[in-house]
């Protein structure tokens, strides 16, 4: 009798959970309503893909890679200087606005992964909202972290000229039956545009064969492999309309954060939800220590957004873009300064992509 009671209780819980998901999806209107178990996948595959990168190119490993140490040393010095130059923390990320040319390569097999221009443009809007601290849910930021929000002073724009100087919309569609999954390095090697001119975004059916929604690499890891520099997104983790999933539509900001040298809030030594991560750091002062929270974890709650969650004796900032919750809202001031440092250093051409000379070459300036 007792066993049947708990079975019925469990079934009721499952029913309530999936009803909640359905209601949330309906409230968001623009999102697809055929939600699947994809929402339980981890958002980011940077750890697994970086290990593959290291296996194929051992020189990319931090111990063999001068670019890693050069960038981190510059970042530490730059951050210290920006702090001392600012009279108060709220001014620390008031640097120069940088326009970043961004190109979307849609690699498709004539399926739903061949998303519409509208869906791509909605992803671009989300990206610009998040990097300029204009997230529409900003008012929902937990009180404990209000005042730490940062404007990264980076704005992403579609170019009007391709690498050969021909007109482009910045959205490229490529039929290729060989790249249903985006974890084959040959895809980027085949279709990349010069990384000193464009941020390459690849839209595919699935970013990774193990189900990760997206991935990118740290700048230092691909300093000597320019063809692998960029962001790979599953089509269902892109934008706010069409095939987009409500739980993953801001993943693009997370991955571009990695592109600009941000680490997961729990650091990069351990996987998400590993208690050992309490002893590691993301090299940013104003993000609290944590072990990370996946939106699909039970402790994340039915909406994937338990803002009262504590993993390392203090409140987790699960609304940070570099966490795995379903409710990312902000980058912190410290994260913005770390990205600013990256964009002012030569590793992986980050200090050139936003220059006036390049903006002229891609048709975004005269």
Is 255 tagged catalytic? Answer: yes
How far apart are the C-alpha atoms of 148 and 274, rounded to whole Å? 26
Q: What is the phi/psi pair of residue 302, to 5°?
A: -65, -20
Closest CA to 219 of 68, 344, 66, 57: 68
Instruction: Decide if 100 contacts 366 (C-beta within 8 A).
Output: no
- Specify the residue for token string 């671009």: 124
DSSP state at residue 157: E
Q: Minimal CA–CA distance to 332: which of 239, 340, 42, 233? A: 340
SS3 state at 233? strand
| CA–CA distance, 328 with 267 (Å, rounded to integer) | 17
* Catalytic option among 42, 113, 149, 255: 255
CB atoms within 10 A of CB 301: 18
**Cα dihedral 203, 206, 210, 214 sign:** positive
Backbone angles phi, psi at 174, to 5 degrees: -130, 120
3-class DSSP state of 234: strand
Q: Catalytic residue numbers?
A: 255
């Amino acid at each position: 009798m007792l066993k049947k009671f708990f079975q019925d209780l469990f079934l009721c819980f499952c029913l309530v959970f999936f009803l909640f998901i359905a209601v949330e999806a309906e409230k968001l209107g623009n999102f697809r309503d055929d939600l699947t178990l994809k929402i339980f996948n981890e958002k980011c595959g940077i750890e697994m893909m970086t290990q593959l990168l290291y296996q194929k190119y051992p020189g990319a490993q931090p111990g063999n890679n001068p670019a890693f140490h050069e960038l981190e040393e510059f970042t530490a010095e730059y951050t210290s200087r920006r702090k001392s130059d600012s009279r108060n923390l709220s001014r620390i990320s008031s640097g120069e606005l940088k326009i970043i040319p961004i190109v979307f390569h849609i690699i498709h097999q004539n399926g739903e992964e061949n998303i519409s221009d509208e869906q791509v443009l909605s992803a671009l809007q989300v990206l610009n909202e998040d990097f300029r601290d204009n997230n529409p849910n900003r008012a929902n930021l937990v009180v404990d972290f209000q005042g730490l929000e940062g404007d990264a002073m980076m704005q992403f724009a579609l170019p009007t000229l391709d690498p050969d100087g021909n007109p482009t919309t910045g959205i490229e569609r490529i039929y290729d039956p060989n790249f249903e999954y985006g974890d084959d390095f040959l895809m980027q090697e085949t279709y990349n545009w010069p990384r000193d001119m464009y941020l390459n975004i690849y839209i595919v059916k699935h970013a990774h064969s193990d189900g990760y929604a997206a991935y990118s690499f740290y700048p230092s890891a691909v300093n000597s492999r320019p063809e692998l520099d960029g962001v790979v997104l599953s089509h269902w983790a892109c934008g706010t309309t069409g095939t987009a999933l409500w739980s993953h539509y801001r993943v693009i900001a997370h991955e571009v954060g990695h592109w600009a040298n941000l680490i997961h809030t729990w650091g990069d030594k351990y996987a998400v939800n590993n208690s050992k991560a309490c002893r590691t750091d993301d090299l940013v002062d104003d993000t609290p220590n944590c072990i990370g929270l996946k939106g699909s974890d039970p402790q994340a709650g039915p909406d994937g957004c338990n803002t009262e969650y504590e993993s390392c004796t203090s409140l987790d900032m699960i609304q940070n873009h570099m966490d795995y919750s379903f409710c990312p809202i902000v980058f912190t001031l410290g994260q913005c300064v770390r990205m600013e440092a990256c964009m002012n250093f030569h590793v992986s051409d980050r200090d050139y992509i936003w220059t006036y000379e390049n903006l002229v070459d891609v048709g975004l300036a005269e």
